[in-house]
Amino acid sequence: MSQTDSEFMLRAIALAQAGVDSNAGGPFGCVIVKNGGVVGEGVNRVTSTNDPTAHAEIVAIRDACRNLDSFQLDGCVVYTSCEPCPMCLGAIYWARPDRIIIACDRNDAAKAGFDDAFIYDELCGSDLSQRKVPISTILRDEGLKVFQNWIAKPDKIEY
């Protein structure tokens, strides 16, 4: 890790502390960097905006994509004060940055009262019927028609 990596991570950690101090939400901050410069930042804003998706990484990804005018973050590095939860890690995979640098991990988050490790366990369990939020299937044939129309659509924008 370079001096620069430490500086960006200290910024992410400072954002996390500022979010706690201002009652924005949970103790999490994130900085996204491209070509040595910050292109997006986020703090957790779940409780202050009534948005359960407003985790620091999601806020930072949306900020960076807005600033870069792109739905992809190729060439970017995500510095986050804690290992991304499954929601945020999924978002990172869709945004496709080059790498992720974390300070704390999911077990540290669990000790501070956040369900990340539980959600990883739920998502990765092979038996969907055992999940705490059950999933049932209806109308698959009707749903598949939309996918068929998508596949056949000549002017679709893939992501």
* Active site residue ranges: 57
Q: How far is the CB of 35 from a second copy (least distance, A)?
A: 18
Would you give the end-to-end CA distance of the chain in angstroms? 31
Annotate each residue in 67-86 with x if it binds a second copy (CB under 8 A) or - if it does not, as one string: --xxxxx-------xxx-xx
Exposure of 16 by Cβ count < 10 A (0-12 exposed, 13-18 middle, 19+ buried)?
buried
93-132 residues near a second copy, rule: CB under 8 A: 93-105, 108-109, 111-113, 115, 118-120, 122-124
User: Pairing mode, if any, of strands 29-34 and 76-82?
Assistant: antiparallel
7-46 residues near a second copy, rule: CB under 8 A: 9-10, 13, 16-17, 20, 23, 25-27, 46
Q: How far is the CB of 12 from a second copy (least distance, A)?
A: 8
111 CB neighbour count, 10 Å cutoff: 9
